[in-house]
């Protein structure tokens, strides 16, 4: 069989039963599909699933589910009801010849076992038709202006040249790249991140896989291949070119016209999650709007309600203007930045005061000031008084992990300042050329310690570093990732958070 109709869906653990019901109706309405791949971290519900789905059901396509496994435990298995489970890393071949590569290994294990994993797959260089990975590759992350990604995924793409690469790293976002070409094989890859069911974004993707597909007629519909180093790319000799090489030449010319390689991607304020000009802005999450900055609850909050505080309390202070960092090197006059700095600090301190006076909580804020950011913001976390002493130990522990254990990101060294009027501190933060990470630890509203680490804008930094330190300090290891299912909140829950926050914050709102 050369053509197959397939369905790919993404489910959070708690939605799996509903998603399977949706698959039944999609199968009936738009199918029949030969197979359905269910992406997501859903392993915990397999036992329940085993009793719910009957074998050989005509209502369902062949289901493939993923489970998290260690590299050594990789492989596929079949539940009693015929559902196929894929875990770890491997290649599964369908009876009709379709080859599916999959990887559910955690990013940290991918990095630590990189050589073993790659040596296993370099021996087996057959291409795959479909590739499923939780993580994105570094190349695609960079193209989308994100600092994440795992280089093993880059290598797997180069080995497998998949026709479709599906990722489920971001549960709230559907993203589809324009297809790109592998010139040596004429294969075309389509990459997409499928959002989770109930996220409001596209969570199901149906397509017909045609194993005979070749170059599309319209070459301008392609984008440049993110895995090919444009500088090292071999020069194509027009005189001796075969038909295939001519096609590539033509492709390269087309790409240079439509996609200048050097030009960095610009995120327009209309696409930015923090800009009011974005028509999709989640305005139900906003707590308070000042004149230069606003306060919003965090999506997928780290902290949970504690004691008197009936809401998560994790919030963000965001400038209204679209800005990468507080002071950029493009500014001639820093008056506006200074005013913004003052107002953001005022908002931050009003939350610190609420946490302390109303809920007997301390506060830690975290910010990244990088010219490579989109729209900077400060994250504010309420911290129980008995935990605040653990800050330095938690920071040291995460620094050890960052600097010694997972050396993918650049090394960080923090300096401690006891006041934001410290001369050395002021000189650093008012210098537009300095890029830095900063924690502000408020034991009380009037006493703060500032921990600042500089970095080079070309360095790769762990954007989740702040959240990691706080998660360790608050003993919330399962809530490290904002987009994990445990942190996910429905719109109704978010509205409730805002409501409770606003009630408590009323007495502390600054007069801006
Ligand atoms: Zn913005």
> Based on the domain organization, do 323 and 426 belong to the same domain?
yes
HSE, side-chain direction, 13 A CA sphere, residue 52: 12
**Is residue 226 included in any domain, yes or no?**
no
HSE, side-chain direction, 13 A CA sphere, residue 410: 16
- Cα gap 314→303, rounded to integer Å: 6
Q: How large is the average pLDDT for residues 353-370?
A: 97
Give the pLDDT of residue 488: 93
CB 481 within 8 A of CB 298: no
Q: Calculate the average pLDDT of the chain.
A: 84
How much distance in Å is there from the Cα of 275 to the middle of ligand 1? 4
How much distance in Å is there from the Cα of 282 to the middle of ligand 1? 13
How much distance in Å is there from the Cα of 322 to the middle of ligand 1? 4
Does the pLDDT of residue 367 top 90, yes or no? yes
> Based on the domain organization, do 38 and 104 belong to the same domain?
yes
Give the pLDDT of residue 270: 62
Which SS3 state, helix, strand or coil, does residue 366 take? strand
pLDDT winner (highest mean) among 51-55, 124-128, 135-139, 441-445: 441-445
How much distance in Å is there from the Cα of 118 to the middle of ligand 1? 39
**Is residue 314 included in any domain, yes or no?**
yes
- Cα gap 121→212, rounded to integer Å: 24
Pairing of strands 204-210, 3-10: antiparallel
How much distance in Å is there from the Cα of 328 to the middle of ligand 1? 15
HSE, side-chain direction, 13 A CA sphere, residue 259: 18
CB 374 within 8 A of CB 272: yes
> Based on the domain organization, do 31 and 136 belong to the same domain?
yes
Dump the DSSP string for 46-85. HHHHHHHSPTT-TTSPEEEEEE---GGG-EEEE-TTS-EE
Beta-carbon contacts of residue 256 (< 8 Å; ≥ 6 apart): none
How much distance in Å is there from the Cα of 375 to the middle of ligand 1? 5
Does the pLDDT of residue 409 top 80, yes or no? yes
What range does the domain containing 496 cover? 269-508
> Based on the domain organization, do 184 and 273 belong to the same domain?
no
- Report the candidate in 139, 125, 244 with the shortest Cα–Cα distance to residue 184: 244
How much distance in Å is there from the Cα of 415 to the middle of ligand 1? 30
Phi, psi of 173 (to 5 degrees): -120, 130
* Segment 237-288, tens digit of pLDDT: 333 333 333 333 333 333 333 333 333 445 556 668 888 777 667 889 999 9
How much distance in Å is there from the Cα of 276 to the middle of ligand 1? 8
Of the residues 196, 215, 234, the one at which a domain ends: 215
- Cα gap 461→445, rounded to integer Å: 30
Give the pLDDT of residue 424: 95
Count how many domains the chain has. Answer: 2
Distance linking the first and last C-alpha atoms of the chain: 67
- Cα gap 187→167, rounded to integer Å: 19
| 218 — pLDDT class (breaks 50, 70, 90) | low
* Segment 170-208, tens digit of pLDDT: 888 888 888 888 877 778 899 999 999 988 888 999 988
Which SS3 state, helix, strand or coil, does residue 416 take? strand
**Is residue 252 included in any domain, yes or no?**
no
Give the pLDDT of residue 414: 96
How much distance in Å is there from the Cα of 404 to the middle of ligand 1? 34
Element (H, E) at 356: helix 335-359
How much distance in Å is there from the Cα of 41 to the middle of ligand 1? 31
> Based on the domain organization, do 285 and 207 belong to the same domain?
no
> Based on the domain organization, do 480 and 344 belong to the same domain?
yes
Phi, psi of 459 (to 5 degrees): -70, 150
> Based on the domain organization, do 174 and 282 belong to the same domain?
no
How much distance in Å is there from the Cα of 277 to the middle of ligand 1? 8
Does the pLDDT of residue 145 top 70, yes or no? no
Tell me the β-bridge partners of 444. 447
How much distance in Å is there from the Cα of 374 to the middle of ligand 1? 7
Q: How large is the average pLDDT for residues 143-152?
A: 78
**Is ipTM > 0.90 here?**
yes
Per the omega criterion (within 30 degrees of 0), is the bond before 2 cis? no
**Is residue 256 included in any domain, yes or no?**
no
**Is residue 253 included in any domain, yes or no?**
no
Of the residues 187, 215, 243, the one at which a domain ends: 215
460 token code pair? 């790769």
**Tokens 């006041």 map to which residue?**
419
> Based on the domain organization, do 281 and 195 belong to the same domain?
no
**Is residue 317 included in any domain, yes or no?**
yes
How much distance in Å is there from the Cα of 170 to the middle of ligand 1? 19
How much distance in Å is there from the Cα of 371 to the middle of ligand 1? 13
| Domain CATH number, residue 171 | 3.60.21.10
Give the pLDDT of residue 224: 80
**Is residue 261 included in any domain, yes or no?**
no
**Is residue 367 included in any domain, yes or no?**
yes
How much distance in Å is there from the Cα of 147 to the middle of ligand 1? 17
> Based on the domain organization, do 172 and 278 belong to the same domain?
no
Q: How large is the average pLDDT for residues 95-110?
A: 88
| Domain CATH number, residue 371 | 3.30.428.10
Of the residues 198, 215, 232, the one at which a domain ends: 215
Cα torsion 114, 117, 122, 127: sign = negative
- Cα gap 379→298, rounded to integer Å: 8
133 token code pair? 């990975």
- Report the candidate in 470, 468, 464 with the shortest Cα–Cα distance to residue 440: 470
> Based on the domain organization, do 182 and 305 belong to the same domain?
no
Give the pLDDT of residue 478: 92
How much distance in Å is there from the Cα of 373 to the middle of ligand 1? 10
**Dihedral angle over CA of 9, 10, 12, 18, nearest 10:** -20
> Based on the domain organization, do 43 and 155 belong to the same domain?
yes
Q: What angle do CA 450, 451, 456 make, to 5 degrees?
A: 130
CB 412 within 8 A of CB 454: no
Give the pLDDT of residue 219: 60
Element (H, E) at 121: helix 114-122
How much distance in Å is there from the Cα of 38 to the middle of ligand 1? 33
> Based on the domain organization, do 201 and 274 belong to the same domain?
no
> For 389, which DSSP code?
T
How much distance in Å is there from the Cα of 377 to the middle of ligand 1? 10
């Amino acid at each position: 069989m050369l053509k197959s109709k397939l369905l790919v869906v993404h489910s959070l653990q708690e939605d799996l039963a509903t998603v399977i019901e949706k698959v039944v109706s999609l199968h009936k309405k738009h199918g029949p599909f030969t197979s359905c791949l269910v992406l997501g971290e859903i392993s915990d519900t397999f036992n329940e699933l085993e009793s719910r789905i009957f074998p050989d059901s005509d209502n369902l396509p062949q289901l493939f589910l993923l489970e998290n496994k260690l590299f050594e435990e990789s492989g596929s298995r079949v539940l009693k009801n015929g559902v196929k489970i894929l875990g770890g890393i491997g290649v599964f071949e369908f009876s009709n010849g379709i080859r599916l590569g999959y990887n559910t290994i955690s990013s940290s294990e991918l990095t630590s076992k990189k050589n073993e994993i790659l040596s296993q797959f370099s021996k087996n260089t057959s291409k795959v038709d479909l590739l499923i990975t939780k993580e994105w590759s570094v190349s695609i992350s960079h193209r989308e202006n994100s600092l994440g990604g795992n280089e093993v995924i880059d290598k797997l793409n180069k080995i497998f040249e998949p026709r479709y690469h599906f990722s489920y790293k971001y549960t709230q976002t559907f993203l589809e790249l324009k297809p790109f070409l592998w010139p040596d094989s004429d294969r075309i890859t389509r990459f997409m991140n499928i959002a989770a069911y109930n996220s409001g974004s596209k969570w199901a993707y149906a397509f017909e896989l045609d194993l005979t597909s070749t170059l599309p007629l319209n070459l301008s519909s392609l984008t440049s291949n993110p895995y090919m180093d444009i500088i090292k790319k071999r020069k194509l000799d027009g005189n001796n070119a075969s038909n295939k090489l001519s096609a590539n030449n033509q492709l390269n010319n087309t790409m240079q016209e439509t996609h200048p390689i050097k030009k960095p991607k610009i995120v327009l304020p209309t696409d930015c999650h923090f800009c009011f000009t974005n028509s999709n802005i989640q305005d139900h999450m906003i707590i308070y709007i000042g004149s230069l900055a606003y306060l919003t609850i965090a999506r997928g909050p780290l902290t949970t309600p504690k004691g008197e505080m009936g809401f998560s309390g994790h919030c963000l202070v965001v400038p209204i203007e679209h800005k990468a960092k507080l002071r950029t090197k493009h500014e001639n006059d820093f008056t506006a930045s200074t005013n913004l700095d003052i107002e953001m600090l005022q908002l931050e301190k009003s939350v610190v005061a609420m946490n302390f006076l109303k809920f007997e909580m301390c506060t830690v804020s975290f910010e990244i000031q990088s010219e490579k950011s989109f729209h900077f913001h400060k994250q504010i976390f309420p911290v129980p008084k008995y935990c605040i002493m653990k800050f330095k130990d938690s920071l040291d522990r995460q620094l050890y992990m960052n600097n010694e254990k997972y050396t993918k990101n650049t090394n960080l060294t923090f300096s401690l300042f006891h006041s934001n009027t410290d001369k050395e501190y002021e000189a650093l933060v008012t210098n537009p050329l300095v890029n830095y990470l900063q924690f502000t630890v408020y034991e009380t509203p009037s006493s703060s310690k500032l921990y600042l680490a500089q970095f080079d804008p070309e360095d790769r930094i762990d954007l989740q570093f702040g959240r990691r330190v706080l998660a360790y300090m608050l003993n919330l290891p399962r809530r490290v990732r904002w987009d994990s299912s445990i942190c996910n909140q429905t719109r109704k829950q978010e509205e409730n958070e805002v409501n409770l926050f606003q009630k408590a914050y009323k007495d502390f709102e600054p007069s801006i």
